[in-house]
Amino acid sequence: MAPTRFIALDALRGFILALMILVNTPGSWSAVYSPLLHAKWHGFTFADLVFPGFLFVVGAAMFFALKNQQWDTASVQKVLRRTLLMFVLGLGLNFLWTPDLSQMRLMGVLQRIALCYGMAALLVLALKPFFTGAQQQYGIPLLSALLLGFYWCVLQLGSEPYSLSGNIAGVIDRAVLGEHRLYQGFGMPFDPEGLLSTLGAVVNVLLGYWVAFELSQRQPKAGMWWLLAVGAVMLVLSQLAASFWPVNKALWTGSYVLQSTGLLLWLLALMVWLVDVRCYRTISEPLRVYGSNPLFIYILSWCWTVLLSKVLVWQVVGAGSEAGTGSIGSTEMSAYQWLYQLLQSGFADKPASLLFALLHVGFFWLISYVLYRRQIFIKI
């Protein structure tokens, strides 16, 4: 029997991409509704569902890509080439944002996707001979549990395992990558896409692979109930784990993996009911269109943001900064700021910022639609 391909998985990919653009492209970071901001350290917000969601759909797509492949030279080389390509493209995006090689950040979203995909794909190919039949049903969850257990043990080596300054993940990144090449947004050098925390993120990809396998063995209605049940188990486990391992996106803790995956399974169950059980295809088709070139659209959205905020910049003449001097000075204005200020003329700050992001979601959907209609699928 051929594996069942759930349309909801394709719709989920488009939905997650739309959320990623929505979260990443506010009109102003000082005017954002709190659910669209990541938790500052411990905790979980709506925005914290987006990145694990992207990794999850990478894993789901990986199931279909690898289902007929085995561990051999050609398959391993293909995985390594794709991993390297994504990582190099991620470095290119960082260079566009900070075109100074001496200060350029080395890690990032695309680099994390690359490393997680590469590690998960190689693990799946290597363990395929051992995961057959019922073993495949339990093998991936067992492997995921072992990875998270190992990661928890390594974190205990830190002086304060879950604090910003004392965790071992930051110590490793500062030693290996250098403080000046890490993300600086936490008030000290710390990279939320760092090396050690990638271990936790790999599990999101593996669980996406496992869920796609499990759904392929079920009809839509049975798959929906399975998703609801497994999602509930993961959410309960996340609450139990949080008692000794705080939910933390920046450290990508095991409780964060379980909570994000549990919520994603419930979201996917809803989409399965709407799309594959009730066959409301008017809901799924725009999302499938959006998810048809996910990595390319993500890269394009980054380049567009750089264009608006770093390239299209001009001087605006205005009053001098010293009151009463009568002097005339100038300030820089970017196209990004100008567009946001245009929306501010008709809306309050936060609604204008949200509308700015929603317009970008729509803009990149139109690009996805043009590519989809012309059957252009850019593989990265």
pLDDT > 50? residue 319: no
pLDDT > 90? residue 358: yes
- Please state, in angstroms and rounded to a whole number, the distance separating the CA atoms of residues 130 and 119: 17
Question: Residue 361 domain-assigned?
Answer: no
Question: Residue 377 domain-assigned?
Answer: no
Tell me the pLDDT band of 316, cut-offs 50, 70 and 90.
confident
Torsion of CA 8, 9, 14, 19, to 10 degrees: 90
Percent of the chain at pLDDT exceeding 70: 94
Structure confidence at residue 135 (pLDDT): 66
Helix, strand, coil shares of the chain, percent, nearest 5, are 65, 5, 30
Q: How many domains does the chain have?
A: 1
pLDDT > 70? residue 325: no
Question: Residue 307 domain-assigned?
Answer: no
Give tens-digit pLDDT for 27-55: 999 999 999 999 999 999 999 999 999 99
Question: Residue 335 domain-assigned?
Answer: no
Question: Residue 213 domain-assigned?
Answer: yes
Tell me the pLDDT band of 230, cut-offs 50, 70 and 90.
very high
pLDDT > 90? residue 83: yes
Question: Residue 327 domain-assigned?
Answer: no
Q: What six digits make up the tokens of 75?
A: 């398959």
pLDDT > 70? residue 328: no
User: Which pTM value belongs to this model?
Assistant: 0.93
Question: Residue 249 domain-assigned?
Answer: yes
Structure confidence at residue 323 (pLDDT): 47
Distances (CA, A) of 189 to 92, 161, 178, 181: 21, 16, 9, 8
Question: Residue 338 domain-assigned?
Answer: no
- Give me the domain span that covers residue 276: 7-292
